């Protein structure tokens, strides 16, 4: 018969050994967490600096008391939250001042472009001659003049109004806000904005003569100016980043009558995505001889920013996502809209009604925001949209 004293001693020894084993495992787990954070440091430097300097002494030791299954569950939850916050542009919705957005954008701008960025902020309202200096060698200057003259702008006061930055757009509401230029062509403010936009685009065309000016650029330039409180220098830097970093310059080739190799290529890529993710819609379009160029050219050339139904917040969220994610952000909207509203497209019975339904898709962004469509495209499709685009979208066509 075993004595109670020996039993207690054996149990205590076992407990000590188990405690030592658990302690070693927890130490290894903490080391692994530190290594993982260090590995990610180069990707998200500012966030990871905070994690490395503060959380290990506060939050991370909590995970020392959790088992592997619980840690894995926490990791899964973190990834789910990241997907949700990213899809619904939660950070974009938090910006309440252009300075905040500009600070965020600067992390994603090209550090050094292939061309030297000119100082554009010296242009005064009455210095239209300065804008003309850059147009002497632009072949499509007439098109530039014409399209700038009819461009409208959001009043900068409306861009960050709390009521217009609502996280939940009112359902069924697509009423467009008044824009500068909608009702008057003689406004001094409109004249000044047209000069700024003209100077921005003519400067780009002068520095990138192989690209020049093309349809769609005015919408992007005007949206950037409105978002950044009409700051030409900052707007130009973002515009050049769109063109160089994300390959928008391949959409044009200095011709007012045709487009660059990038446009048909991206239209072809969109057609392939529709074939994979919305085969019923693809078959319906083919049955009525509707090609992607008939409805999606403007989507690609202007990033949806030509749609007058979109409120300022939606336009700014589009700019945010495109700057950070590139064409993946836009294809998430293209495909998300088509997949979510597939039934509306296939019930249309003739070419006119189908095209009307397709061209009306961007209006849903005004009613529901980007979130539902990004969530659908980025988290529910198989194969993933990123995988589908990785071999095609990021490989630019040869000049």
The pLDDT of residue 37: 58
What residues does each domain of the chain span?
A: 97-251, 262-390
> Can you give the pLDDT at residue 254?
83
Rounded distance, CA 324 to CA 154, Å?
23
Mean pLDDT of 109-128: 56
Contact 148, 201 (CB under 8 A): yes
Work out the average pLDDT over 131-141.
Answer: 57
What does the longest C-alpha to C-alpha distance in the chain come to? 108
> 332-374 pLDDT, tens per residue?
999 999 999 999 999 999 999 999 999 999 999 999 999 999 9
> For tokens 């905040």, what's the residue?
100
Give the whole-angstrom CA distance, residue 45 versus residue 55.
15
Tokens found for residue 4: 């109670």
How many residues comprise the chain? 399
pLDDT at position 315 is 96
Say whether 240 sits in a helix, a strand or coil.
helix
pLDDT for the residue numbered 57:
47
Topology, domain 262-390: Cyclin A; domain 1 (1.10.472)
Name the residue among 50, 180, 225, 196 with its Cα closest to residue 127. 196
Confidence category of residue 78, pLDDT binned at 50, 70, 90 = confident
| Tokens coding 111 | 């550090």
């Amino acid at each position: 018969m075993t004595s109670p004293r020996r039993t207690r001693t054996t149990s205590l020894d076992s407990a000590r050994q188990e405690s030592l084993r658990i302690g070693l495992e927890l130490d290894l787990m903490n080391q692994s967490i530190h290594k993982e954070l260090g590995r990610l440091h180069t990707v998200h430097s500012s966030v990871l600096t905070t994690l490395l300097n503060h959380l290990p002494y506060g939050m991370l030791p909590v995970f020392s008391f959790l088992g592997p299954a619980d840690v894995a569950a926490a990791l899964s939850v973190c990834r789910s939250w990241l997907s949700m916050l990213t899809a619904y542009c939660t950070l974009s919705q938090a910006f309440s001042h252009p300075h905040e957005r500009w600070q965020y954008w600067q992390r994603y701008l090209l550090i050094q472009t292939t061309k030297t960025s000119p100082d554009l902020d010296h242009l005064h309202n009455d210095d239209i001659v300065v804008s003309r200096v850059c147009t002497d060698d632009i072949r499509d200057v007439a098109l530039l003049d014409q399209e700038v003259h009819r461009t409208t702008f959001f009043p900068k006061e409306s861009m960050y109004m709390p009521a217009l930055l609502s996280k939940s757009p009112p359902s069924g509401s697509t009423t467009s806000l008044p824009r500068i230029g909608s009702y008057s062509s003689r406004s001094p403010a409109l004249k000044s904005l047209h000069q700024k936009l003209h100077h921005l685009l003519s400067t780009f065309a002068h520095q990138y003569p192989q690209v020049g000016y093309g349809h769609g650029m005015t919408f992007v330039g005007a949206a950037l100016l409105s978002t950044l409180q009409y700051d030409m220098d900052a707007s130009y830097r973002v515009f050049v980043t769109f063109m160089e970093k994300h390959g928008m310059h391949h959409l044009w080739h200095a011709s007012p009558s045709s487009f660059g190799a990038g446009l048909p290529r991206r239209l072809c890529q969109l057609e392939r995505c529709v074939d994979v993710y919305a085969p019923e819609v693809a078959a319906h379009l083919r049955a009525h001889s509707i090609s992607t160029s008939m409805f999606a050219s403007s989507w690609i050339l202007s990033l949806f920013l030509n749609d007058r139904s979109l409120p300022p917040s939606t336009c700014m969220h589009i700019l945010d996502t495109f700057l950070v994610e590139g064409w993946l952000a836009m294809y998430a909207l293209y495909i998300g809209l088509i997949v979510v509203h597939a039934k509306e497209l296939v019930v249309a019975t003739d070419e006119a009604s189908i095209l009307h339904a397709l061209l009306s898709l961007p209006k849903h962004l005004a009613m529901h925001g980007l979130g539902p469509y990004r969530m659908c495209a980025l988290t529910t499709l198989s194969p993933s949209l990123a995988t589908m685009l990785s071999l095609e979208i990021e490989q630019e066509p040869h000049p």
